Amino acid sequence: MEYLYVNHTDDMILRDYLAYDRTKFALLRTFLSIARTALGLFASGFGLIIVKESQALINLGYVLCGFAVCVLVAGVIYSVRAKVRLDGLGKSPALSE
């Protein structure tokens, strides 16, 4: 995985490479769990809409679908921001100590 460290090789030692990999994988796991939650909410909401038992359940289904979209958008924003911070980490003077 040498391509991950192209911009950071000057200041990083082995411990920093391992921490960087661990953090990247944790970020990926976090995003996947957020996506799984959004998918579950959307499936639950869609299931309630299809059942059509009462107007209250249909409205709850739409609310769950909307909430699922909000959760997914928030997860994408969080992941992008965290990736930008992580990619800028190698330029920090704290790693050069």
Domain that holds residue 64: 16-92
The count of domains in the chain is 1
* Residue 20 buriedness (CB in 10 A; 0-12 / 13-18 / 19+): buried
Q: pLDDT 10s per residue in the chain (97 long)?
A: 445 555 655 666 778 778 888 888 999 999 999 999 999 999 999 999 998 889 999 999 999 999 999 999 999 999 999 888 887 765 544 444 4
| Sign of the four-CA dihedral 48, 54, 59, 60 | negative
- The alpha helices in 1-54, defined as continuous H runs, are 14-51
- Distance (Å, rounded) from C-alpha 54 to C-alpha 59? 9
Which are the contacts of 17, defined by CB distance < 8 A and separation ≥ 6?
A: 5
- The model carries a pTM of 0.70
- Report how far Cα 64 is from the mean position of its chain's Cα atoms: 20
* The pLDDT value given to residue 40: 96
Domain presence at residue 33? yes
